[in-house]
């Protein structure tokens, strides 16, 4: 059986009509706003649920209470709303906005609150996320939600102010945690000194300051002598105790501007701004004597330990961390090879190779300048007295004698 009627194919469906154009002054409807939740900063998970931030002290009044009595309660308690409930179940809410609106219209305030309260009542549950409750407030243009339990009974109330305070507390906590984590990332966990990365950053800052304004800067490298024997003989706990005690000595003798860091296992660096090799060597010697005279105690073990140190200073030849570290390391190895338990200072190197001195050639002897009259006398040829020269101009006196002119009478 054919689907055609009167031998003609069926007509095609009409295309959909285009949307009606908006008026000239009309604005397109904005899409609904949503609060983005990123994976690295999920506010919904960080703020928690409504039950963690809601207020459980709620002022409840029966429906037959006069509106003027509700106003008095809000003024005494300094709150913005009261909940109207019957038998423990919330029926509505009366806020200061409702009172102001009724007062502006010059309506009576003696009516019961059942005639003024907002209905239907928007509620939430303690397990709802805080951001979801905030989005419902924004969509319905309200500032508070009544919290009910599973049976529909009143549990509390949450406002935008509660959510704002919770967000502020959370941001402050996150800022404090960020500061603590940033400080912990710069410190050595065992000793509390700066670690290698932090020392490198501080060195670049001090190096730039020294280059800009000039001055002195020294570096001291310490290395504990025979530290491996302490770990092998008394255990790693004793070795950790030695490291902590040595770092305590460093911190007690360093200035506020000095930067002490644990650069390796038992290797320590101290950067000393505005100090030369002499003062840095005295500082290292003071540390060496204090450690050599101290007796380490760990449990039942008592032993002594020494330290070697190498000192270098900033110069044009050592104008980087690598160069200064190399000089301090060479001085430290010199102290180790010389018997340990001593301080050695790195030898200074010139920034450029010395050029051979050039002997200056003697300048040619210069005679003093002659007077003009003498030059003219030497230039004129000698002639016998009483003779004249043909090339001599007439009217001029011979020789260098000046001609005098007399004015006419």
* Whether residue 375 lies in the annotated active site: no
Which of 96, 165, 256, 266 is catalytic? The answer is: 266
Determine the Cα–Cα distance for residues 66 and 82; give it in Å rounded to an integer: 12
Active site (catalytic) residues:
266
């Amino acid at each position: 059986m054919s689907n055609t009627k009167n031998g003609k194919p069926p007509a095609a469906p009409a295309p959909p009509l285009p949307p009606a154009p908006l008026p000239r002054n009309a604005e397109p409807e904005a899409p609904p706003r949503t609060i983005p939740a990123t994976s690295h900063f999920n506010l919904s998970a960080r703020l928690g649920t409504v039950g963690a931030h809601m207020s459980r002290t709620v002022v409840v009044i029966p429906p037959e209470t006069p509106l003027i009595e509700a106003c008095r309660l809000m003024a005494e308690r300094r709150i913005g709303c009261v909940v109207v409930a019957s038998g423990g179940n919330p029926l509505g809410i009366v806020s200061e906005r409702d009172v102001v609106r009724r007062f502006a219209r010059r309506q009576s305030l003696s009516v019961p609150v059942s005639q003024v309260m907002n209905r239907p009542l928007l509620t939430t549950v303690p397990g709802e996320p805080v951001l979801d409750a905030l989005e419902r407030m924004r969509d319905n243009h309200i500032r508070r939600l009544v919290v009910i339990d599973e049976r529909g009974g009143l549990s509390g109330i949450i406002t935008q102010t509660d959510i704002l305070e919770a967000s502020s507390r959370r941001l402050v906590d996150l800022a404090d945690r960020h500061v603590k984590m940033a400080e912990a990332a710069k410190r050595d966990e065992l000793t509390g000194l700066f670690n290698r990365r932090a020392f490198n950053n501080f060195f670049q800052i001090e190096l730039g300051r020294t280059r800009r304004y000039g001055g002195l800067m020294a570096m001291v490298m310490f290395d504990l002598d025979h530290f491996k024997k302490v770990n092998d003989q008394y255990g790693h706990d004793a070795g950790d105790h030695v490291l902590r005690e040595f770092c305590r000595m460093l911190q007690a003798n360093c200035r506020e501007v000095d930067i002490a860091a644990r650069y390796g296992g038992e290797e320590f660096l101290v950067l000393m701004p505005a100090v030369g090799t002499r003062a840095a060597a005295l500082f290292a010697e003071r540390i060496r004597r204090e450690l050599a005279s101290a007796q380490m105690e760990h449990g039942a073990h008592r032993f002594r330990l020494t330290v070697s140190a190498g000192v270098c200073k900033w110069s044009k030849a050592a104008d980087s961390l690598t160069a200064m570290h190399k000089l301090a390391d060479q001085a430290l190895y010199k102290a180790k090879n010389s018997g340990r338990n001593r301080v050695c200072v790195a030898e200074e190197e010139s920034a450029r190779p010395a050029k051979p001195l050039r002997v200056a050639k003697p300048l040619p002897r210069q005679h003093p300048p002659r007077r003009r009259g003498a030059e003219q006398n030497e230039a004129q040829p000698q002639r016998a007295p009483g003779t004249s020269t043909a090339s001599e101009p007439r009217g001029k006196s011979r020789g260098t004698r000046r001609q005098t002119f007399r004015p006419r009478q």
